Structures are given as C-alpha cells and as structure tokens.
Amino acid sequence: MRIVVAVGGNALLRRGQALSAANQLANVRRAARQLARVAVGNQMVLTHGNGPQVGLLALQAAAYTAVPAYPLDVLGAETEGMLGYLLEQELGNLLPARPLATLITRTEVSRADPAFKHPTKPIGPMYAAAQAARIAAERGWVVAPDGTGDAAPTAQNWRRVVASPMPVRVLELMPIQCLLDAGVLVIAAGGGGVPVVRAASVDGTDNPALEGIEAVIDKDHCAGLLARQLDADCLLIATDVSAVFLDFGQPGQRPIGKVSPGALLHGAGLARFAAGSMGPKVAAACAFVTATGRRAVIGSLDQIESMLQGVAGTQISLDGADRL
C-alpha cells in the first residue's frame, strides 16, 4: 500500500513545551516508534509540520542584528533538513534494513493567492497579548489570537501569523516517485515545502524562473496534494487528538467516526472546525477522498496503526456516513 502520512508540528513538539532540542528529540523518538509500525510492508512518504520550529528560528535570527533576518522560505528549508535528520535517524534505528531519504522539497504557490493579503497561519511560540503587541511593533510582524485546538482564544495565546497560500505543485514529485519505486521511505515536503513562486516578469513575457517567497504552506494541504499526485492509497493525518470532534472543547463534544466528505462539508461545513488547526486537516482529507475515491484518516499519532486498519480516528471515505 502506498501511504502519505502527515505528522502535525504539535505531535513533534507538544503544546506548552519549551522549544528545546531535548524535548524535540524525545517527541521525534515517540513519533518514530508509531510511524515504524505502519512503514513495514508499505510504501511511505512522511511529511511533517514545522510551525514551532520556524518560529524558533525566526526568533533566533531576529536576535542577531548584524545582518537582516533570513526570510521564511530559507527558514522553512532549514527546518526540513533539521526535522528530516531527526526523523531519519530515529526511524533508521528502528528500521535498520529500510533505506531512508530526506528531500528538501519546493512547493509552488501563486503570487496572486489572496492569502498574501490576509495572513492567518500561526507560527512560533505563544505570547500574552501585551507581549505579542510589543514584539509585532518591534519586528513588523502580524499577530493574532490562536485557539488551542478548537477552543476559544485567550489573552495568553497570541502568535505570529503569516501568509499561507494554497500549494499548486510539488516540484520534487519525480524524485519522490523514483525513491518510492526503489523502496525508500521518503521524508519530504516538511512544513508544506519551501514556498516558491514564478519570478515577476520585467517585459510582459512568461518567466519560468522560480524564487522563494515569504510564506508558510499548510502541511496538510500540501500532503493532500502530494497524495493525489502520487496516486496514494491512503492519506493519514496524525495529530494530538484522537479524532475530528464536533463542538470540540465543549461539554457535548463528540468524535466523528466513519463519514463521507459530503457530510463534513455540508451545512456549516469547515466553519465547524478551527481554521488554524482542524479545519485544514478536514479540507485536505475531503479533497483527497473526493478526487481519488480513496480513504483519508485523521486521528492521534499514538493510534496510527489502528487508523490505517480502519478502526480508529475519523475515517473519511465516499461510502462513509452521509450525516454527522
């Protein structure tokens, strides 16, 4: 079976944890133990979030003022290498006979994407409201309250937000395909990939050149696109909750089991799920299932083996329940 697995940034660095190398390594080791279980006997492409890591690198870069801070596309490439190395190392310890490769992956976006005018993607650590306002003024950032999961925001959880354009094309698709065909477990498109756009034309003609742009691509949307382009059998989105919930964080919250894309998108649709957390996961999963007729699953990394077996998480398929 060919599977694409998207591991959330909060599964690699848990909410509220210090952004230390030790904490990150401990979480990567925990993730690797789960991922190794579904890697055996399957072709796998592993993608991962990078919001906390990019935010940390941005803070570190801002502390050194002798040169301008590096842009987000470069920081994204750095986190692809950093997290790819950690995942490759720990998976290699568990699967010594399995070849692994981390691929720095570029993802093309459109310069005209409206997201560039309305930044919404949270990255980095959380701040109190007053601290966030001060940092935003000092560094020219845009900040906004960020809910924990689908919970209401508070005065203590403001974060930097950046543009999150939709992915158009994964540029390293061919080498990913070649590596899969050779039996390699591929770690690619980390953090949604490095965002690049077509260079602006100076004479009105088409310009095939590419250049990086200041943005962060949602890793779930990119994983869904990659799964479609690779003709994957299943898209697994692993996060830090056991399923997609209705009324998450409320007394009457309830998990969603087997469901169709139509049921998830009907009526209030994606508005029922937080735009900065579960919303993109649901949208990416529904788009994959609708386009391919195959299955997508959203659930806890700790249950990923059961998710693949169809007995855990929110199982999204064309023959799933048509009502929530």
Which residues have a catalytic role annotated? 9-10, 121, 219, 281
Q: Identify residue 229 by its one-letter amino acid code.
A: Q
CA angle 123, 222, 242 (to 5 degrees): 70
Locate 168 and state its tokens: 């158009």
The length of the chain in residues reads 324
In this structure, the strands spanning 245-246 and 254-255 are: antiparallel
Burial category of 75 from C-beta neighbours within 10 Å (exposed 0-12, middle 13-18, buried 19 and up): buried
* CA atoms 245, 157, 303, 48: torsion sign: positive
Burial category of 161 from C-beta neighbours within 10 Å (exposed 0-12, middle 13-18, buried 19 and up): buried
Q: Give me the residues paired with residue 206 across strands.
A: none
DSSP 189-222: -GGG-EEEEEPPPSSSS----EEE-S----HHHH
Give the closest residue to 302 by CA, choosing from 26, 20, 32, 24.
32
